[in-house]
């Protein structure tokens, strides 16, 4: 409704402006021609016949301009409508993305908040044992951690300008980056798949350390979550020319080509991953961070055969 009203108003405004400009142009043409004819007739023999010819020519010009203007009255609104739709299209897409973002965010916040309310309400309904209270607190704390992670990711994603993330770039050791990114996955539990790293000590890149650790941690955590305990996650580094590529390959569920195309969409999750904890923001955040650091992210995957995520960043040749 908002955009329909805006479209109508903008169409009317464009039409009025164009018709006014055409009217001014027509009057200017008529005034110029009439003055020119008057000047020429006054300076030639047979002025009477000259004035008759001039009046006849000016009359024809008036009717021609009038018919052209009437035609413009019919054509200009259609042209203005197309122009208005074209002008509003980016704004409409932005508005629709914002609405989708708000709806998805509300849904993601509702789930952990519901868990917290449920656990705390049950704990307060009657006297419980210490173990039961601890279990309720543990579940609530897990929900709070999920909310904290979601909030931090949303704050980063809210920076639509990639340049806003490109700050405090320094020379960074890739080995240190991967060590910090992998460490939390080893602490997650004994049932996690094996994470194997192969990183040359001399590999270095230029970027923001904290942001790059965040990006790599998201990729490795994704690989770990979607790989069975008996599977494996390989993290390799390749230095080529002026770039460094970090590859994270798993032996997990994998994705179809259609799912790979949507992997970077915010809040999107593949149907096969709905039972796995997460918000659907990880890869979107990874892509935004890597692009802000002057790099790129590619995904190759096949259902049942695992996924490979390659992050390419500018290397430090100093």
The two three-digit tokens of residue 136, written as one number = 């309720």
Contact criterion met (CB below 8 Å) for 285 and 212: no
Q: Tens of pLDDT along 90-112?
A: 888 777 766 766 666 666 677 67
Strand (E) or helix (H) holding 198: strand 194-198
Which residues constitute the domain of residue 92? 2-96
Residues 141 and 178 in one domain: no
Q: What is the pLDDT of residue 187?
A: 47
Place of tokens 């006297």: 127
153 and 264 inside one domain: no
Average pLDDT in the chain? 78
Q: State whether 44 and 144 are in the same domain.
A: no
Q: Please report which confidence band the pLDDT of residue 17 belongs to, taking 50, 70 and 90 as the band edges.
A: very high
In whole angstroms, what is the distance from residue 19 CA to residue 13 CA?
A: 10
- Pair (88, 175) in one structural domain: no
Q: What is the DSSP letter of 315?
A: B
| pLDDT recorded at residue 268 | 67
Domain stops at, among 54, 74, 96: 96
The Cα 278–Cα 104 span in angstroms is 13
Distance CA 217, CA 187 (A): 13
Task: Give SS3 for 104.
Answer: helix
The CATH number covering residue 145 comes to 1.10.287
User: Could you report the per-residue pLDDT of 213-261, keeping only the tens digit for each?
Assistant: 888 888 888 888 888 888 888 889 888 878 899 999 998 888 888 888 8
- Among 162, 182, 199, the domain-final residue is 162
Same domain for 230 and 188: yes
Task: Please state the domain count of the chain.
Answer: 3
Residues 78 and 127 occupy one common structural domain? no
Query: In terms of domains, do 186 and 301 share one?
Result: yes
């Amino acid at each position: 409704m908002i955009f329909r009203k805006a479209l109508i108003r903008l169409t009317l405004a464009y039409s009025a402006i164009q018709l006014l400009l055409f009217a001014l142009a027509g009057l200017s043409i008529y005034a110029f021609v009439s003055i020119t004819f008057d000047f020429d007739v006054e300076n030639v023999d047979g002025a009477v016949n000259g004035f008759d010819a001039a009046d006849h020519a000016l009359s024809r010009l008036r009717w021609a301009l009038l018919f052209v203007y009437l035609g413009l009255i019919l054509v200009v609104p259609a042209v203005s409508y197309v122009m208005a739709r074209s002008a509003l299209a980016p704004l409409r897409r932005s508005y629709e993305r914002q609405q989708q973002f708000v709806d998805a965010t509300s849904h993601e916040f509702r789930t952990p908040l519901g868990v917290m309310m449920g656990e705390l309400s049950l704990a307060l309904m009657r006297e419980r044992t210490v173990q039961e209270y601890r279990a309720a607190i543990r579940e609530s704390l897990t929900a709070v951690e999920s909310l904290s992670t979601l909030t931090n990711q949303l704050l980063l994603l809210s920076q639509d300008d990639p340049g806003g993330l490109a700050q405090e770039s320094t020379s960074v050791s890739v080995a240190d980056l991967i060590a910090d990114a992998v460490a939390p996955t080893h602490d997650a539990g004994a049932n996690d798949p094996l994470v194997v790293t192969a990183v040359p000590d001399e590999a270095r890149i230029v970027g923001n350390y904290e942001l790059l650790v965040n990006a790599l941690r998201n990729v490795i955590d994704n690989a770990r979550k979607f790989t069975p305990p008996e599977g494996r996650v390989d993290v390799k580094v390749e230095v080529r020319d002026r770039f460094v590529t970090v590859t994270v390959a798993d032996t997990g569920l994998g994705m179809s080509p259609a799912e790979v195309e949507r992997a970077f969409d915010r809040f999107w999750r593949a149907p096969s991953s709905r039972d796995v904890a997460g918000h659907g923001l990880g890869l979107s955040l990874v892509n935004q961070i890597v692009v802000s650091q002057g790099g790129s992210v590619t995904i190759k995957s096949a259902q049942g055969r695992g996924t490979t995520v390659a992050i390419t960043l500018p290397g430090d040749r100093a």
